[in-house]
Structure 1
Amino acid sequence: MRRMVVSTACGDFVTEKDVAEAQLVGALVDCYRVLPDAAIYLDGQLVPEEARLAALAALSGEAAPAPARVAAPPPDAERLKEYGQVLAQLFDDLRKGYVQSMNDLHDVFRRYREMCLDNERRFADEVAQQRALTHKSLADVDLLRRSVTTTQLLSGFAAEMKPRALAQSGPTLTDYVAGLVRAVAGDKQK
């Protein structure tokens, strides 16, 4: 392993890495491809000029155009017909797969929409039931309040009328007013 440090021509540090001896020329070529005027150090020593020139020569050899390829002869008519049949079958299979996937996707969306509508319907039914129960509870509370008020009113009348009704022939208008005041004010007055 050799330690390679790359810097620019101005001396600014770029990178450093360990390179195997067998990969050294390739690493040098890669560095010169990116930075042709880079200063490359191997194990603290500047790369010799002949190694640098060899790497640049290898790089310029890569840039040479590749030899032209000889075109293969065109296939015969029977093979072209076979290729056409294979392509037609491939296109038909792709079309059938596309149609089937669209149908499956449509079915999934339809089931999802039905599920959402069913959930909305159940939620609305639950809200309606809760509203009906709330109205019934409020009516029961109102009925209970009226019953308690009536009982208090009757108790107030009875407390006020019994002693006087015994002493006199029956309750008077004053007894009713006093009972009403006692029922409204509570037992605070005596």
Structure 2
Amino acid sequence: MVVSTACGDFVTEKDVAEAQLVGELVDCYRLLPDAAIYLDGQLVPEEARQAALAALSVGTAPAAARVAAQPLEPEKLKEYGEVLAQLFDDLRKGYVQSTNDLHDVFRRYREMCLDNERRFADEVAQQRALTHKSLADVDLLRRSVTTTQLLNGFASEVRPRAIQEGGPTLTDYVAGLVRAVAGDKKK
């Protein structure tokens, strides 16, 4: 016997003895009145379905098959209770342990992210310091080159006249400054 919903979704499949077939059909229709039930690959005829539903509504349908359970011995019942108590305790401990493990994983992940951010910030600060040092070195080099150019300009103007006239004049300094700044190529 195969049971599916009215729209064709599979519900269950089971082997049923010939003597229990009517009771099983009624039980299936009791739970799922619009179920599609197949017996040996054939859909149960609509007349049989309607008859089972009518018997259910009138109350003449056979009662659901129930197997009477034998009462448990007190020792077995106590043993089952202890096993269930141990099972629930183990489940609780497992839940607490997995929650603690999860918190530990998140804590370590947060620490790792903070450490990465800290290292990144340190690297940026180090790069900034190196950039400032490089700019200071470039500025110092530019000043040195400019000073050298000025001294060379003054030297080219001052030496010839200083030798001839006995010392540099204000005009010599101005001419050297102009030559250094303007970049006069006269040597």
- Pairwise TM-score range, normalised by the shorter structure: 0.5 to 0.7
Q: Does 1:57 align with 2:54?
A: no
Q: Does 1:85 align with 2:82?
A: yes
Partner of 1:185: 182
Q: TM-score, with normalisation over the residues of structure 2?
A: 0.66
Deviation at 1:182, TM superposition (A): 1.2
Structure 2 Cα separation of the partners of residues 62 and 183 of structure 1: 116
User: How much does 1:59 deviate?
Assistant: 2.6
CA–CA separation in structure 2 for the residues paired with 1:146 and 1:62:
108
Q: Which residue is 2:147 aligned to?
A: 150
Percent of aligned positions that are identical: 77
- Whether 2:104 is the aligned partner of 1:107: answer yes
Q: Structure 1 counterpart of 2:175, which letter?
A: A
Query: Which residue number corresponds to residue 165 of structure 2?
Result: 168
Structure 2: segments with no counterpart, 5+ residues: 1-39
Question: Is 2:71 the partner of 1:75?
Answer: yes
Q: Structure 1-normalised TM-score?
A: 0.65
Report deviation, 1:71.
6.2
Aligned counterparts of 2:83 and 2:52: Cα–Cα separation in 1:
40
How far off is 1:97 after superposition?
0.5
Task: Give the CA deviation at 1:72.
Answer: 2.3
Distance in 2 between residues matched to 1:153 and 1:164, nearest whole Å:
17
Residue type at the aligned position of 1:131: R
Q: Deviations over 1:61-87 (max 9, x none)?
A: 453436223462563351432332222
DSSP-derived class of the 2:88 partner? helix
Tell me which amino acid in the other structure corresponds to 1:139.
A
Cα distance in 2 for residues equivalent to 1:98 and 1:72 = 37
How far apart in 2 are the matches of 1:77 and 1:58? 44
Distance 1:106 1:56 in 2: 59
- The alpha carbon displacement at 1:166 in A equals 2.0
Q: CA deviation digits over 1:106-162, x for unaligned, max 9?
A: 221222122122212211221121111111100100000001100111111111112
Match of 1:46 in 2: none
Ranges in structure 1 where 5+ consecutive residues have no aligned partner: 1-21, 30-54
CA distance in 2, matches of 1:169, 1:136: 45
Counterpart code for 2:170: L
- Supply the distance in 2 between the matched residues of 1:177 and 1:128 (Cα, whole angstroms): 45
